[in-house]
A = this chain, B = another copy of it.
Amino acid sequence: MEGAMTDRDTLLAGNAAFYSAFQRGDYEAMASLWALENSISCVHPGWPALIGRDAVMGSWHAILGGGANGPISFHDCNAILTGREGRVLCIESIGGHLLQATNIFHQILGSWKLVHHQSSPIAVEEEQETPPSAVVN
């Protein structure tokens, strides 16, 4: 049917909703995007893994507790669909830092729900800012 959304469209819409909730600091929206199961897992940059609904949502409550986190953007999305699993790999830009994220969704009762998020810093090989010169008098 022309105009109907494909699974890929709805998967990418779920991924966009994740970053929208993140940027707005909207915990309720974030909580609704994750599966209710205790099989969810999340690896924030620099953190060891959090596993289970309480640990994962507790971390998001703390992260989003301060309100809006903007500006957050994401680009270079690759959506990989296999059966009821949808994996989105994208580059996040958060506070000027680039991170490689993997967001894994499962199709549960007709909706894509997050079951895993991992975000890790990308080593950017670009011109470094000149360090402050050591002034020794």
**CB of A118 within 8 Å of the partner chain:** yes
Classify chain A's interface size: 20 to 34
A interface SS class? strand
Nearest chain B residue, comparing its CB with the CB of A46: B123
How far, in angstroms, from A44 to B2 measured CA to CA in the complex? 40
B100 and A47 form a contact (CB under 8 A): yes
Segment at the B interface, from A3-11, A17-25, A60-68, A76-84: A76-84
> Which residues of B lie under 8 Å from residue A49 when comparing CB positions?
78, 89, 100, 102
Complex alpha-carbon distance, A120 and B43, angstroms: 9
Q: CB distance A82 to B121 under 8 Å? A: no
Mark contacts of A100-129 with chain B using CB atoms, 8 A cut-off: 1 yes-contact digit, 0 otherwise.
101010100000000110111111000000
A82 to B136, Cβ gap below 8 A?
no
In chain A, positions 84-100 with a C-beta closer than 8 Å to chain B are: 84-85, 87, 89, 91, 100
What 6 additional pairs, Cβ within 8 angstroms, besides A49-B89, A120-B121?
A39-B87, A41-B89, A43-B118, A46-B121, A47-B100, A104-B104
